């Protein structure tokens, strides 16, 4: 309990401080602001290592796609993946809930780095523009898009069927999918105190090539990620 409180204090204090330090980057090129995201990812790792004695293990680095356009579909159990994945992949673009953009300073930062927001409870013009936004990112940059197919943070043993957003990206853009499974909920649960002296394993799985239909792809993606999480748990 005490270590969990210390972690939350120092972690969020550091995140706020990084956002403040990078405030001037809001008026500078986007690539400068992106360094702030990587710094947040490293700060997350440092806090977990030092305060909670958490060991972070990366599996499957050989599966990382280096020379092609791709998007990442990742399990979502905690804030960890939102920050740490920025240290592995090249300045990823997150698809996230619109409410996060309303957070002072941090929300401004998310806008600056090009995050794509959606309103999960409504069908509106902005959501219908979803395809145009991701198409623009894929065509104009080498930054991969990250989507969380579970749509929200889930418990480690939760096996909720994936939402259709990942399949929509896969079919519409006809690009490779990089599945990632992370058991971060065992350390940083959705509710309650963080746990110490455990491992967070980031498992980068074999890519799914274009060519499957949406239903087949989503079933393959869900099986790949959930099967890996079963092993990690």
Bridge partners of 95?
Answer: 116
Q: What is the pTM of this model?
A: 0.89
Q: How many domains does the chain have?
A: 1
Determine the Cα–Cα distance for residues 217 and 74; give it in Å rounded to an integer. 14
Q: Tens place of pLDDT for every residue, the chain, 233 residues?
A: 789 999 999 999 999 899 888 888 778 777 888 888 899 999 999 999 999 999 999 999 999 998 889 999 999 999 999 999 999 998 888 887 777 777 777 777 777 777 887 765 554 444 556 678 788 878 888 889 999 999 889 999 999 999 988 998 999 889 999 999 999 999 999 888 999 999 999 999 999 999 999 999 999 999 999 999 999 97
Domain ranges, residue 166: 2-232
Question: What is the pLDDT at residue 29?
Answer: 78
If residue 147 lies in a helix (H) or strand (E), which one and from where to where?
strand 145-147
Q: Which of 20, 14, 28, 38 is nearest to 112 (CA)?
A: 28
Looking up residue 141, the CATH number of its domain turns out to be 3.40.1130
Beta strands in the chain (DSSP E): 55-59, 70-74, 93-97, 116-118, 145-147, 176-182, 199-204
């Amino acid at each position: 309990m005490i270590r969990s409180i210390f972690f939350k204090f120092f972690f969020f204090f550091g995140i706020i401080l990084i956002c403040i330090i990078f405030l001037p980057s809001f008026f500078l090129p986007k690539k400068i602001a992106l360094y702030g995201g990587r710094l947040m990812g490293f700060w997350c790792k440092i806090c977990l290592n030092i305060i909670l004695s958490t060991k972070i293990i990366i599996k499957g680095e050989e599966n990382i796609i280096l020379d092609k356009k791709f998007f990442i579909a990742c399990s979502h159990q905690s804030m960890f993946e939102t920050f740490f994945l920025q240290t592995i992949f090249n300045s990823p673009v997150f698809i996230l809930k619109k409410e996060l953009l309303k957070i002072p300073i941090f929300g401004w930062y998310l806008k600056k780095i090009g995050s794509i927001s959606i309103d999960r409870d409504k069908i509106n013009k902005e959501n219908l523009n979803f395809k145009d936004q991701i198409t623009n990112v894929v065509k104009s940059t080498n930054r991969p898009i990250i989507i969380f197919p579970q749509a929200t943070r889930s418990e480690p043993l939760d096996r909720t069927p994936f939402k259709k957003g990942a399949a929509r990206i896969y079919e519409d853009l006809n690009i490779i999918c990089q599945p990632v499974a992370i058991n971060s909920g065992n350390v940083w649960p959705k509710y309650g105190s963080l746990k110490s002296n455990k491992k967070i394993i980031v498992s980068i799985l074999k890519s799914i090539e274009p060519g499957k239909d949406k239903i087949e792809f989503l079933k393959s993606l869900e099986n790949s990620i959930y099967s890996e999480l079963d092993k990690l748990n």
